[in-house]
Chains A and B, each alone.
Chain A
């Protein structure tokens, strides 16, 4: 009886613990979702009542020197929080006495710059969408505005209204602006606000069927159908080296270049060597049963940290996907919902060191996510590999496997170090577990050479002896035959 109740007790405990386990997911080599450990956990949600500020609708967020800059697109103000998520100040401090009068601003960027007297000061850049201008606000609230750039598309009869939506500034002071209805790409402005060029134009995607019918259309018909426009950029991030990480809406459903890393020349240089293209969800349903979101991910924001890790947020399912500098999918977390730590409209993400802030613009909240032990290890291993410390990185990957034995990137990380060290047999085994065929082949080649070197003398001896034996036998047979038949030649 005692035994029985013990078993029942254990069973009940197991039942409850299994409910409490928050399991994330991950994609296997074959693109099927598999169980994984949660890489990040929700630690805090910052709400407007908590910081004691009235907020209309948060449109953007930027983290600079551990301070969080929030942009309110409805009440047209900027709110600044410190690293403990406490309210510091807001601008304008009094809405009635507003010197700037922003109108529905959508993008914010903050950066330290030398001012005219050679002092390092914090500047806030705001894409003031409604007023069609970009503001550069000094920390003493004096500001400078950049109006419509001197470009052809903003002039003449068919001029596009200049509505800047997002802005980043790279380390040379050049401004990059995403504007509404501009299909030519990202606007690049010189530090003094003059237009320089367009960067990173997206391609027009026309599917084959449409192109086929276009062949039979007259010119009038062709004029009447909808214009095929390239997809526009939704958001971007600039890293320390001046690379622009951009996200685009998918045009043809494949979305293989939804995420781009644009260098200063305007060329996409994102490394896509992972098993899947970095594009958020790998497998998804198109079949709408009303319960689950359909179609590919709609990535709204991207953020990168200083060792090449970048995260994107999918507003469709409220999930965050993190990739390393090679384009390997590292982990997935988050989700849409009403619970704590879930989102209804996750639009912006930002790294604060290794923590991730996710802004929900419907609830006007900011969720703070902290890496779990597993997430920490993955980040560390990636960082060490990025810095070239392969041995250390393999040790960290080894630890990662204790948390998640399914994690093929860990096997690959270990195998790469073993390969560099020359332990080919072990690295082959780990490459096999990681399903990395190219590297497995390299390791196997070395291993095979090793084996050949080892057994080459034996092979040679065997070959010579067998050939010698056959020769001996045929000569003997010939002699015997010759004797039997009586011929001697």
Chain B
């Protein structure tokens, strides 16, 4: 049953994206726990990519390993995209709920996970000249995400392809706006903190 949900259905979506995402939404074949597992696997993959990718391909200083940072590199984009896309599509009569969008994004990570596992293992057994092929395969993983998300959005929002392009563009704008506001809040907090710190320092120097 878990195998069915976790492996077979995502594979089915890859081979039959329209049918797959229809089943995903209408027959409730997309499961939240699967989405979360896929998200967790992607986080794990980014950490493995940092630590265990073949020596020749690995540009990272092992001292710089920060797993929380790496996990947030996966988590934040996924959440940001889901929220931004939901914000935009509700205005453009998208039929998808926030939960659907989030699950769809997580399911779309599936090809990336498979490709990355392959890349991590293969990179340990290859030389410099052969790495070119591996890089191409690596790009296929990222293209897989785009490919699945494209069909996912068509099915979930019941959109036409052109509308998907438009809403995706607007989603990127929305992400920019969200980031801007977050940054603004952070700088304000920082300024407030430095102000209080300076004040306290002044007081402590005086008395």
> B117-166: which residues lie under 8 A (CB-CB) from chain A?
125, 127-129
> With an 8 A cutoff between CB atoms, is B56 at the interface?
yes
> With an 8 A cutoff between CB atoms, is B73 at the interface?
no
| B residues in contact with A30, CB < 8 Å | 61, 63
> With an 8 A cutoff between CB atoms, is A445 at the interface?
yes
User: B127 to A441, Cβ gap below 8 A?
Assistant: yes
| B residues in contact with A438, CB < 8 Å | 128
* Contacting residue for B55 out of A29, A32, A432, CB 8 A: A432
Q: Smallest Cβ distance from B65 to chain A, in angstroms?
A: 13
| B residues in contact with A29, CB < 8 Å | 61
User: B125 to A441, Cβ gap below 8 A?
Assistant: no
> With an 8 A cutoff between CB atoms, is A86 at the interface?
no
CA distance in complex: A440, B61 (Å):
17
* Contacting residue for A440 out of B55, B63, B125, B129, CB 8 A: B55
Q: Smallest Cβ distance from A130 to chain B, in angstroms?
A: 52
Cβ contacts A223-264/B at 8 Å (1 or 0 each): 000000000000000000000000000000000000000000
User: A437 to B125, Cβ gap below 8 A?
Assistant: no
> A434-489: which residues lie under 8 A (CB-CB) from chain B?
437-438, 440-442, 444-445, 448
User: A441 to B128, Cβ gap below 8 A?
Assistant: yes
| A residues in contact with B129, CB < 8 Å | 441
* CB-CB nearest in chain B for A446: B127
* CB-CB nearest in chain B for A431: B55
Q: Smallest Cβ distance from A440 to chain B, in angstroms?
A: 6
Q: Smallest Cβ distance from A158 to chain B, in angstroms?
A: 51
Cβ contacts A18-61/B at 8 Å (1 or 0 each): 00000000000110100000000000000000000000000000
User: A437 to B56, Cβ gap below 8 A?
Assistant: yes
* Contacting residue for B125 out of A32, A432, A442, A448, CB 8 A: A448
* CB-CB nearest in chain A for B60: A30
* CB-CB nearest in chain A for B57: A437
| A residues in contact with B56, CB < 8 Å | 437, 440-441, 444
Cβ contacts B17-60/A at 8 Å (1 or 0 each): 00000000000000000000000000000000000000110000
* CB-CB nearest in chain B for A428: B55
* CB-CB nearest in chain B for A444: B127
Q: Smallest Cβ distance from B163 to chain A, in angstroms?
A: 38
Q: Smallest Cβ distance from A354 to chain B, in angstroms?
A: 34
CA distance in complex: A441, B63 (Å):
23
| A residues in contact with B128, CB < 8 Å | 437-438, 441-442
* CB-CB nearest in chain A for B124: A444
CA distance in complex: A170, B56 (Å):
44
CA distance in complex: A444, B129 (Å):
12
CA distance in complex: A432, B129 (Å):
18
* CB-CB nearest in chain B for A28: B61
A-B CB contact pairs (8 Å), 8 listed: A29-B61, A30-B61, A32-B61, A432-B55, A441-B127, A441-B129, A442-B127, A444-B127
Q: Given A438-B128, A444-B127, list of 4 further CB < 8 A pairs?
A: A29-B61, A32-B61, A444-B56, A448-B127
